[in-house]
Amino acid sequence: MTYLSRADLLVVGRIATLAGEAGLGWVEALAVGEGRVLAAGPLAEVGVLVTRGTRWLRIPDGHVVAPAVTDAHIHFLEAAVTADEIDLEGTTTMEEALAIVARAHEARVRAGDRAGWLFGHGWLADRWGRLPAAGALEAVAPGRPIALWAHDHHARWMSPAALAACGIDAGTPDPPGGMVGRDADGQPSGVLFEHATRIGVEAVPRPTSERLAEAVVRHADRLAALGIAGVHDPGATAPDPTLEGGLLVYRRLAAAGRLLLRVHAGVRDEQLETAVAAGLHSGEGVAPADPGDPQARLSAARFRVGWLKLFGDGSVGSRTAAMLEPYAADPGGRAFPAGPRGRLLESRERMIERVTAAAEAGIATMIHAIGDGAVRTTLDAFAAVTAERLADLPYRPRIEHAQLIHPDDVGRFGRLGVVASLQPVQLRSDETIMRRAWGDRTRHAFALASLEATGGLLAFGTDAPVEPADPWPGIAMAVTRQAAEWGDGVPPSTPEESITLDRALRAATSGPWRAARDELGGRLVAGSPADLVVLDAAVIDEPVRPGGALALARPRLTLLDGEERYREAGFDA
């Protein structure tokens, strides 16, 4: 405790600090000064930092304080923009989806727009029992270019006008790492898989950087209400070599004093050369436009350059995840667009080359790998880059999703120091899909307990907009391995892989900070940023169960840098 510090704020109540390696680390009081925790402990000790100017925050009975969440994998810019687009999540048939598209089209026509682009997301071939087709969109919205991401953003359903605008016809070859879905007669069917979604994408209009900046500001408020103080954004789905549609949007907001959320902004594969030429490296921040303004200083400090993002494979829903053994036969007789074992989107050699090139510039790498084949190749690639080179980087190497890990590979995460960045909420929607695609191998999916037991560092995220940005159902899912949405009588998915509540909370709070080699963030100990939430005590006290208080948690209050970002109407503290 520094005797010169003075508390701006004193929090008194039941406070879970998540200090140390295990448990919840309960304390009674927390002193905050200049946005950081000065001391945590008994009120009698922490109280010596109180002066006449100190504000008191007395947490009412029935509530607890915990560190705020960092989402380690969220396409935040994309989530912010798609919040205003066509939403096909939850549709059970293509007809239902087409009715939604038809309504959006008619509304545009009434507004005088007959041929502008329509965008959307959320269709799921596994739920519909078939893949959609371009002609169906033409029937409900003649002549309009329409592009609709699948639920997992690994395939895009295009109308004939959208295919034509992108220059895709029967003569278009499959690009490396991508597949153009085709009819029996070789015509494009209207579904593009993986990197084929990038063909002619220059013709697809993009939001301006002003619109993106406004979307970030609006969406940051929604996340604060969910208890989220920070995000790691691996980048948007649409390629953009300029950094204009991503990293620079955040950096400008931060410098201007308008970033009300911590952001680690990713560098996409095709942006690496631009980023290196600009001298960017992982962990780099930005200077405030007005250094004399304390708010501007806090805002600037919330921005960091994050990780290079590479794609190792596709997804299980699209059957494009790269597998060690073939997929189970599809009951619908559907062909596998990337072959019976899926397909790697990057060779091991190219992964090594890119990870090394990034490391030379001080940029750490995250690699998307969902199937056990892609996970193994990705671990091989990290292992081939020298340990010293990875250890010298400001941030740790990481694998995104790691949905299915072969049991022989689980221990390699801990040994190699590779972060396991998982989204346990995906178990909720993917359990059925995984059973169909992987059969009995599904018992090794989301191997949370095995990763922890072998020294692997877990960092949780939601992958929004693929899943909703609400972090709490995923935290609960890591404990229960079972969702209320599954209905009664459906057993948990491999209960041996469940982890305890305090471990699940850590994976959602301190885990992402530790991925960035920061041992203070995501906890409430001396030196931590004062990012915290006030929750109903039942969230922590009630035994965790599907549909219980943890899965349904909503903060009453969220603080970022010790300042109020969200307060539920009527909450009095």
Binding site for Zn ion (CB under 5 A): 463
Give counts: helices (H), strands (E), the chain: 20, 22
State the nearest-atom distance from the C-beta of 253 to Zn ion, in Å.
22
Phi-psi region at 517: left, alpha or beta (left = phi > 0; alpha = psi -120 to 50): left
Dihedral sign for Cα atoms in the order 32, 34, 37, 40? negative
State the nearest-atom distance from the C-beta of 74 to Zn ion, in Å.
8
Query: Of the two residues 126 and 463, which places its CB atom closer to Zn ion in the complex?
Result: 463
Query: Of the two residues 36 and 368, which places its CB atom closer to Zn ion in the complex?
Result: 368
Query: Of the two residues 155 and 535, which places its CB atom closer to Zn ion in the complex?
Result: 155
Q: How many Cβ atoms from other residues are within 10 Å of residue 41's Cβ?
A: 19
Per the CB < 8 A criterion, the answer to whether 71 and 464 are in contact is yes
Burial (CB < 10 A; 0-12, 13-18, 19+), residue 182, is middle
421 CB-near residues (< 8 Å, 6+ apart): 72, 73, 366, 398, 399, 400, 401, 402, 459, 460, 461, 515
Query: Of the two residues 463 and 518, which places its CB atom closer to Zn ion in the complex?
Result: 463
Q: Rounded CA gap, 557 and 566, in Å? A: 5
State the nearest-atom distance from the C-beta of 460 to Zn ion, in Å.
13
State the nearest-atom distance from the C-beta of 50 to Zn ion, in Å.
44
Q: Rounded CA gap, 429 and 161, in Å? A: 32
Query: Of the two residues 462 and 482, which places its CB atom closer to Zn ion in the complex?
Result: 462
Q: Is 221 helix (H, G, I), strand (E, B) or coil?
A: helix
Burial (CB < 10 A; 0-12, 13-18, 19+), residue 58, is exposed
Tokens read off for 161: 């006008």
350 CB-near residues (< 8 Å, 6+ apart): none
Query: Of the two residues 161 and 223, which places its CB atom closer to Zn ion in the complex?
Result: 223
State the nearest-atom distance from the C-beta of 73 to Zn ion, in Å.
6
Task: Give the CB-nearest residue to Zn ion.
Answer: 463
Tokens read off for 274: 């631009």
State the nearest-atom distance from the C-beta of 530 to Zn ion, in Å.
29
Q: Give the H or E element holding residue 225.
A: helix 209-225
Query: Of the two residues 149 and 413, which places its CB atom closer to Zn ion in the complex?
Result: 149
State the nearest-atom distance from the C-beta of 29 to Zn ion, in Å.
39
Per the CB < 8 A criterion, the answer to whether 106 and 86 are in contact is no
Query: Of the two residues 149 and 513, which places its CB atom closer to Zn ion in the complex?
Result: 149
State the nearest-atom distance from the C-beta of 417 to Zn ion, in Å.
22
Query: Of the two residues 309 and 503, which places its CB atom closer to Zn ion in the complex?
Result: 309
State the nearest-atom distance from the C-beta of 400 to Zn ion, in Å.
6
State the nearest-atom distance from the C-beta of 522 to Zn ion, in Å.
21
Q: How many Cβ atoms from other residues are within 10 Å of residue 29's Cβ?
A: 21
State the nearest-atom distance from the C-beta of 255 to Zn ion, in Å.
27
Q: Rounded CA gap, 329 and 472, in Å? A: 34
Report residue 339: phi and psi, to 5°.
90, 170
Query: Of the two residues 399 and 544, which places its CB atom closer to Zn ion in the complex?
Result: 399
Burial (CB < 10 A; 0-12, 13-18, 19+), residue 230, is buried
Query: Of the two residues 463 and 497, which places its CB atom closer to Zn ion in the complex?
Result: 463
Nearest residue to 436 (alpha-carbon basis) of 91, 96, 127: 127
